[in-house]
A = this chain, B = another copy of it.
């Protein structure tokens, strides 16, 4: 794969105006927190004569598992609608999403993962002035326990996911208090990408700020959805393959020799020696095939010491790798992989509709289109399509990133699919262990698979004959003494086999139509980022 070095798109920068607003908000928040603590301190005695709500609010002592208090039976926010009219009072634990006291009332939005519900405190028989003030001063993102009555509302509450009810609070306690000054606001980090900027104050949060404060950033509804969907991709991948008789294996990450040549490999100090971090589990997958495991897959960390600062490169990512013995033709494997993708796309569409919608509320996402069975094109056909579109490209030339993307658009226009397979890559541009095409010496039994015009899998039939492997290695000018162990593993009988490796974060990024792989890696690693 020829890769253009693109610059990292860091997302939108915070405007100067925005920064000022943030600073002001932070100062205000600091003040609020002090007030909250003061209110709680006033309440410490809990028997203040002036406060008839004493004991109904305050800062809880740290939960240290002192006793198994069972009197608080918590209801999840998304189940509250079932409690309206039924339950008198319920307990809910969640975060303060926003809180605003005005006169004798406090409106608070409580958030639990992606669900939000409006809470109201109004001075009266149960609630005191002090309690309203306390509630209004709890810093955003603090975790609180409330006891409240769920009440139906007549007009929809547009700002919450629970739109048909609100909670009339009778008790409120802070379980874990957040710092008053947050490095980013969840509201800002959740703002739709293309929201109208009517008052010029629609602050966005830039990518580095997000990643530096990932614990906060991950709390946005879109991020909650992205990483749940990502877990779904892994689960689907494993379940689909297990159902077809694949065995999961685990391959070592610390290896004694660089698996794919010496370039782009991280070095590790290993006691008195040096070792490397595996750039792929390929050799080990192949050994598992030679060891009679027949069909194997592995999900695990893969390392690339490549100084590529692009929207789609990471130095550490999760590989979804598989390898499979076949009887006569590597298309047995190619079809298995293609159908696995189809099953993953169907599984995501059917089981993760809510997550896809959540992501769509922040990022513009076109539904992912695929054909069943998947479209398979020959590399030569792809080249012909590019030439028809006016691109000059050689028969044995690899696809450049722009050509890869252009071909994706041409395929989409012609076949209406965001996923396709390109088969029979030129032999000259594939690694030495790739099986040449026996019917045409220019090509090889190898394939790439694409989502929205970007490569997400590279695979091939591997040479399983040790003598032929030696011959091909020599042809590539490789010092065969350095890969003796690799070649040796085929000397004890090995079935013909093929496989491929998938970048998990890329699959999620491209399925959702996101613009940067850092959005789909929980704690991304690139040449410039090693934290958090």
Contacts and interface: CB of A to CB of B under 8 A. Distances in A.
B143 A215 contact: no
B445 A291 contact: no
A339 B315 CA distance: 37
B439 A254 contact: no
Contacts of A315: 254, 270
Interface string A434-469: 011111000001000000000000000100110010
B141 A493 contact: yes
A494 B141 CA distance: 9
Interface string A493-524: 11110000000100000000000000001110
A228 B215 contact: no
Number of copies: 2
A468 to B, nearest CB: 7
Contacts of A284: 522-523
Contacts of A223: 291
Interface in A321-372: 327-331
A251 interface: yes
Chief secondary structure at chain A's binding surface: loop
Contacts of A496: 63-65, 175-176
A178 B250 contact: no
Interface string A280-307: 0000100110111110000111010101
B292 A95 contact: yes
Closest 3 pairs between A and B when the two form their complex, measured CB to CB: A218-B291, A178-B493, A231-B248
12 contacts: A64-B461, A65-B438, A67-B329, A93-B495, A179-B491, A182-B492, A217-B291, A218-B292, A230-B250, A231-B247, A267-B268, A485-B532
Interface of A: 62-70, 72, 74, 93, 95, 112-113, 141-143, 175-179, 182, 214-219, 223-224, 227-228, 230-231, 234-235, 238, 242, 247-256, 266-271, 273, 275, 277, 284, 287-288, 290-294, 299-301, 303, 305, 307, 315-316, 318, 327-331, 435-439, 445, 461, 464-465, 468, 485, 489-496, 504, 521-523, 525, 527, 530-532
